[in-house]
A and B are shown apart, each in its own frame.
Chain A
Amino acid sequence: MTLWFVFALMTVAAIFAVLWPLSRGSSAQAGGSEAVVYKDQLAEIDRDVAAGLIGSSEAEAARVEIGRRLLAAADGERTLPARANLGLRRASAIVALVGLPIAAVTFYLALGSPRLGDFPLASRTRMADVSQPLENMVAQVEAHLEKNPTDGRGWTVLAPVLARLGRFDDAVRAYRNVIQHAGDSAERRSDLGEALVTSAGGVVTAEAKAEFERAVAQNADDPRASYFLGLAAEQDGRKADAAAIWRAMLSKAPADAPWRPLIETALARVGGAPVAPALSDDAMAAARDMNEADRGTMVRGMVDRLAARLKQDGSDVEGWLRLVRAYIVMGERDKATNARIEARQAVAGDAERLRKLNEGLKNLGLDG
């Protein structure tokens, strides 16, 4: 409603601008005239003569010339009597009163969106929107949690966002708070464990392992916890244990479990089961068997996380190489080239790392 009121005010102002001079009638003051300019020019000549800038004979000639123009101008002006044309004035007034608003509103309605309100950033950040990757939204939630540290729901929302932003240490802290304030569950323990693993660069630390063990204790079928426990075994060099854990998972898993391919590849890696030979990058290969949407999300998420982490700390040569390889596999050569340039800039200060980076890049066929 306010909008239409503002529109009405503006329209009235516009109409007024046209009607006002019309209402003033023929008493309106006449404008300036040429004669004024010529008189000024004559005065100027006097000043120049007084200042000694021009000689008196030149001044005289100039005065004669300007005098002639002055006369001509005076003649010209007398031929222009002012007269009121009431018909035209009335027509103009009608155009302003009727035509102007109709034209303006018609034109506006054809182009504008009067029903759409404003969406400034400030009001939008108040809307709950988990997909919003904005630091300021996170900051807002964090500020809220600072005041209400026992708000379990707040921590539940914040933790995955922090993980997505690459702030893994904060994510670990947030997941701990989730468990503390929103209650313990297998899934939450797995979340915490996964965050610990990511913050350790993919290594299942003793701390993480303890969390996964707690998760399994609560729910023996939690697939994520089982998978990571297997991974822990593999990383410890106990391949047989790893294979046993994963094989047990597969035997219990429903046939359509989305994580099945991932486990199968992992199993193949430790030489446990007759599944198709895995490619070098297990996750990539697993992704290949998923459906299009899942694969996209999974790969994209992994790569984005890696890129975000490297942006924070660029000294991880292995990480850079993995990122470049991921981009190449995904067919985004542009991004791969960019990542290469960024990587070089990031490790330029360290000769040993640079050498390693260059060797790695050469192996990827992306040197130069």
Chain B
Amino acid sequence: MTRKQRRLTMICGSLAVLAVAAALVLNAMRDSIVFFSTPTMAAEKQIPPGKRFRLGGLVQPGSLVRGDNLAVNFSIADGSATLPVAYKGMLPDLFREGQGVVAEGALDASGVFKADTVLAKHDETYMPRDVADALKKQGHWKDDYGAKPGATAASAPVQGTAK
């Protein structure tokens, strides 16, 4: 083979692999991507039952009900709307009423969000970014969530209590 042919082989091979990779990516994008929304957005968009999405907001205080064998019901609220959520399994350590949470799953026919994964905020000052943004937009954000105390302040640890 000449130099040119060899180079051609290499380039064709590379393109083939890249094409395969691109095809895989596009295929996976179609099937395995989930959108994020808050209860308000979910109501506005009228997400059909069975479509998977991530639901984020604050756990409505007082809404947590534990059923038999690890079944849990609670509501996720974002200030203007709430959505009931049903989940079966163990909740993360940091799951609290009044705290930010993201659940992944789909709505069922009766409008209940059936979650198969629940993620809670990771530590005291961290909140799922999607939730924080959404809440900020709707004016339900208290700035002290992520606040770092100034060099002079020796303030008490910030409590994450939201309305």
Residues of A within 8 A of B (CB): 332-334, 337, 368
Binds A, one of B18-26, B60-68, B110-118, B136-144: B60-68
Residue pair B64, A368 in contact (C-beta under 8 Å): yes
Distance between Cα atoms of A337 and B160 in the complex (Å) = 14
Partner of B66, one of A332, A333, A334, A368: A368
Distance between Cα atoms of A332 and B97 in the complex (Å) = 11
Residue pair B98, A333 in contact (C-beta under 8 Å): yes
Residue pair A333, B64 in contact (C-beta under 8 Å): no
Residue pair B161, A332 in contact (C-beta under 8 Å): yes
Residue pair A334, B159 in contact (C-beta under 8 Å): yes
Query: Who on chain A is nearest to B64 by CB?
Result: A368
- List CB contacts (< 8 Å) of B26-75 with chain A: 61-62, 64-66
Smallest beta-carbon distance B110→chain A, Å: 22
Residue pair A334, B161 in contact (C-beta under 8 Å): yes
Query: Who on chain B is nearest to A338 by CB?
Result: B96
The listed residue with most B CB atoms (<10 A of its CB), out of A332, A334, A337, is A334
Residue pair B161, A337 in contact (C-beta under 8 Å): no
Query: Who on chain B is nearest to A337 by CB?
Result: B97
Residue pair A368, B65 in contact (C-beta under 8 Å): yes
| Seed contacts A332-B159, A333-B62; 17 additional CB < 8 Å A-B pairs | A332-B161, A333-B61, A333-B97, A333-B98, A333-B161, A334-B96, A334-B97, A334-B98, A334-B99, A334-B159, A334-B160, A334-B161, A337-B96, A337-B97, A368-B64, A368-B65, A368-B66
Measured between beta carbons, the chain A residues less than 8 angstroms from B159 are: 332, 334
A-contact 0/1 string along B79-117, CB 8 Å cutoff: 000000000000000001111000000000000000000
Query: Who on chain A is nearest to B61 by CB?
Result: A333
Measured between beta carbons, the chain A residues less than 8 angstroms from B66 are: 368
Query: Who on chain A is nearest to B63 by CB?
Result: A368
The listed residue with most B CB atoms (<10 A of its CB), out of A332, A337, A368, is A368
Measured between beta carbons, the chain A residues less than 8 angstroms from B160 are: 334
Smallest beta-carbon distance B33→chain A, Å: 34
Measured between beta carbons, the chain A residues less than 8 angstroms from B99 are: 334
Distance between Cα atoms of A230 and B63 in the complex (Å) = 43
Measured between beta carbons, the chain A residues less than 8 angstroms from B65 are: 368
Distance between Cα atoms of A332 and B66 in the complex (Å) = 21
Measured between beta carbons, the chain B residues less than 8 angstroms from A337 are: 96-97
Smallest beta-carbon distance A329→chain B, Å: 15
A-contact 0/1 string along B126-163, CB 8 Å cutoff: 00000000000000000000000000000000011100
Distance between Cα atoms of A337 and B61 in the complex (Å) = 10
Distance between Cα atoms of A342 and B97 in the complex (Å) = 16
Distance between Cα atoms of A334 and B94 in the complex (Å) = 12
